[in-house]
Structure 1
Amino acid sequence: MVEVVILGTGNVAFHIFQTFSEAKNIRVIQVYNHKKVSLKSFSKLIDTTTNIHNLKPADFYLLALKDDVISEIAQQLNNHKGIILHTSGAIGLNALQSATNFGVFYPLQSFSKNNTVDFTEIPICIEANSTENLEKIKSLALEISTDVREIDSEQRKALHVAAVFVNNFSNHLYSIGAEICDDHGIDFSILKPLITETALKIKNLKPREAQTGPALRNDQKTIETHLALLPNKHKHIYNLITQSIQDLHGKKL
């Protein structure tokens, strides 16, 4: 049985805790956060602590924390024999180099506490400071996911940027679409089948091949109509994305 201490109580920590708790060969033995109030939802389920120096001996210490504190917290764990892991897409492996055994356990997914996720389908990107530690981290990841990939720090940074485009930026565009609907008395739910179809389409097509719309067709009349309808705060985004699509595909006459 592999024993794990989780440091952090945010969305990533919450979902990893739930998934690890249901795994056959993993046992979460403690959860840490520097704020007692943040541990409230965990305290009835598991041993908790607000003192970083009172962490239990474990095989893994999983740092599901804000990027800017990862290195600082790792330095306080350098006396522990277990493998120190962080879950960040943007922070390199070397942020943990103060420890003896360390690595990365990055689940490539967007997490919200009220939204259930199936970890078996989530890619987990792993990296380690030694071949032996990499194999141990791989075994841990395979307990909860069928998609485990060795991704180095530079690849993971690029992957994180790509994820921001396809997830965070696209969601922001959904927000703009919802605002436009609201401004014109339209229920945003009417767009949900279109959103679903667009996402499903790239299972069989490359995103470039799936592109449609007035920017691709260089339909100037439609583009001008859209710009006339949009408030000024959204015109720049519309123009910028239209130009980007045309730069990629070339303007069609």
Structure 2
Amino acid sequence: MISVVLLGSGNVGTHFFKAIEKAENVRVAQWFSRQIDSIKGYKNKTAITDNLSELMEADLYILAVSDDAIATLSSALPFENRLVVHTSGSVNVHDLDKKNKRGVLYPLQTFSKGAEMDFKNVPICIETLDKKSYPILKEVATSLGSPTKRVNSNQRRVLHLSAVFVNNFTNQLYRIGHEITESEAAEFDLLKPLIMETAKKIQTLSPYMAQTGPAKRHDKKTIEKHLDLLKNPEHKAIYKLLTKSIQNTHGR
């Protein structure tokens, strides 16, 4: 049984706790949060603390905290030569204090605290500096049911950047679409089957091959009609930018 001390009680930390709780070969021996009230509801399931000096000895310490807090927290850990990992997609593994063995468990997924998450749908990217640390991280990830991939720092950084495009930026486009439909009291829900089909297509087609629409067709009349309909200058600028990007990609 692999013992874990979990540090951080945000979205990622909370989902890690829930996933580990269901795993057979891993257990959360202790949960640390500076905001102790945020984890008091779990005190009957694991030991909790807001004091770094009270951290237990464990096989693995997972720092599921904000990117800006990783270096400071790892430096403040009151021990040496133990396995410490962070969960960030963009923070360098070398930002962890070198007094401990260092690695990364990067869950490539979007997390919301109130939403249930099946870790079968959470690929975990693993990076280590010490080859001997890899097997334990691999075992933790597979125990959660996650598909795993060993990556280097450069690969992890571009995966995180790409994730911003396909998730965060796409969600902002959903929000803009929602705002546009509301302007004429149209139902945004009517677009949801289209959203699902778009995501489904790239399971079997490359994004390049899946592209459709007026920009790819170079349908100037439709593009001009859309631009006339857009009253928000920011929305108009985004439409023009993405139209140009699609046309550049597809040779128009």
User: How many aligned positions are there?
Assistant: 251
Please report how far the alpha carbon of residue 82 of structure 1 lies from its aligned counterpart in structure 2 after TM superposition. 3.0
Q: Distance in 2 between matches of 1:136 and 1:168?
A: 31
Please report how far the alpha carbon of residue 36 of structure 1 lies from its aligned counterpart in structure 2 after TM superposition. 2.4
Number of the residue aligned with 1:172: 172
Number of the residue aligned with 1:117: 117
Number of the residue aligned with 1:107: 107
Number of the residue aligned with 1:150: 150
Please report how far the alpha carbon of residue 115 of structure 1 lies from its aligned counterpart in structure 2 after TM superposition. 1.5
Structure 2 counterpart SS, 1:135: helix
Q: Compared with structure 1, are the counterparts of its residues 36 and 146 closer, same or farther at alpha carbon in structure 2 (3 Å cutoff)?
A: closer
Number of the residue aligned with 1:242: 243
Consecutive unaligned residues of structure 2, counting only runs of 5 or more, are: none
1:81-102 alpha-carbon deviations (Å, 9 max, x no partner): 4310100000111011423211
Q: Distance in 2 between matches of 1:35 and 1:196?
A: 38
Q: Distance in 2 between matches of 1:106 and 1:83?
A: 15
Q: Is residue 2:85 matched to residue 1:85?
A: yes
Number of the residue aligned with 1:54: 54
Structure 2 counterpart SS, 1:16: helix
Q: Distance in 2 between matches of 1:81 and 1:54?
A: 17
Q: Which letter does structure 2 place at the counterpart of 1:212?
A: T
Q: Distance in 1 between matches of 2:72 and 2:81?
A: 18
Q: Which letter does structure 2 place at the counterpart of 1:6?
A: L
Sequence identity of aligned pairs in percent? 44
Contact kept, 8 Å, 2:109 with 2:122, in 1: the verdict is yes
Contact kept, 8 Å, 1:89 with 1:157, in 2: the verdict is yes
Q: Which letter does structure 1 place at the counterpart of 2:88?
A: S
Contact kept, 8 Å, 1:4 with 1:60, in 2: the verdict is yes
Q: Distance in 1 between matches of 2:61 and 2:70?
A: 12
Q: Distance in 1 between matches of 2:61 and 2:174?
A: 37
Number of the residue aligned with 1:224: 224
Q: Distance in 1 between matches of 2:72 and 2:104?
A: 16
TM-score when scaled to structure 1?
0.96
1:198-253 alpha-carbon deviations (Å, 9 max, x no partner): 000001100000000000011111011001111222100000000000111112xx
Aligned-CA RMSD value:
1.2
TM-score when scaled to structure 2?
0.96
